[in-house]
A and B are shown apart, each in its own frame.
Chain A
Amino acid sequence: ILNVEQSPQSLHVQEGDSTNFTCSFPSSNFYALHWYRWETAKSPEALFVMTLNGDEKKKGRISATLNTKEGYSYLYIKGSQPEDSATYLCASDSGGGADGLTFGKGTHLIIQP
């Protein structure tokens, strides 16, 4: 059974500050790593799908890196804004097939004005 861990569980950040959090996953049988942003009362929204070791992806002020050999990914937010407040989920895909994803518990980010 895959075990995907995210840390910290929750995080309070001052508006304008940059922040980052971690997703760790088993490095064996790795296929892809997903990041989602989940705002309260809305649907989780895909941020990134990463597959290659050393990959770095960027979407506006948000970026993510991937280390498949050691089994971790970092999500970075630069210059946090109140609209960044959400739960950020990562999920590991070990099969590449229709088996679904194994999710972490998420990092709950609160941006304080």
Chain B
Amino acid sequence: GAVVSQHPSRVICKSGTSVKIECRSLDFQATTMFWYRQFPKQSLMLMATSNEGSKATYEQGVEKDKFLINHASLTLSTLTVTSAHPEDSSFYICSASRAGVTEKLFFGSGTQLSVL
């Protein structure tokens, strides 16, 4: 149990376009979802935390107007990279929590974004 599905796994897009990444909890209700970004040879870095039905909380240095997060239901969160540029090329991964951060997180398999 506790499967998180993330799509797409890989996307290549032109500079200036927007890209939407979906994260779904398949067999449980995710009270909180987290979005991370990982640059090559770096740690997973938290971008934002989202709770169903409320606005996401963004980490310092993450532009909320550029990285739009929607957590419309307890099983779906989306991250939209708006007007993507080459410097946004990175690995994006979501995770979901059932009952707070101290419980183990359930991760999606990630999305490799390449912006040309």
Contacts and interface: CB of A to CB of B under 8 A. Distances in A.
* Secondary structure call for the A interface: loop
Interface string A4-15: 100000000000
A42 B101 contact: no
Given A4-B43, A105-B43, A98 B49 contact: yes
A45 B104 CA distance: 9
Interface residues of B, number: 28
B49 to A, nearest CB: 5
Interface in A44-69: 44-46, 49, 51
Nearest to A51: B102
B43 A49 contact: no
A73 to B, nearest CB: 15
A99 B101 contact: yes
Contact of B105 (A46, A95, A99, A106): A46
A52 to B, nearest CB: 12
A104 B44 CA distance: 8
A96 interface: yes
B102 A100 contact: no
Given A98-B32, A98-B51, A98-B100, A103 B105 contact: no
B46 A100 contact: yes
25 contacts: A31-B102, A34-B104, A34-B105, A42-B109, A43-B4, A43-B106, A43-B107, A43-B109, A44-B105, A45-B107, A46-B106, A49-B104, A91-B44, A93-B101, A93-B102, A96-B100, A96-B101, A96-B102, A98-B100, A99-B49, A100-B34, A100-B49, A100-B101, A101-B101, A105-B41
Interface of B: 4, 6, 32, 34, 36, 41-46, 49, 51, 57, 93, 95, 97, 100-110
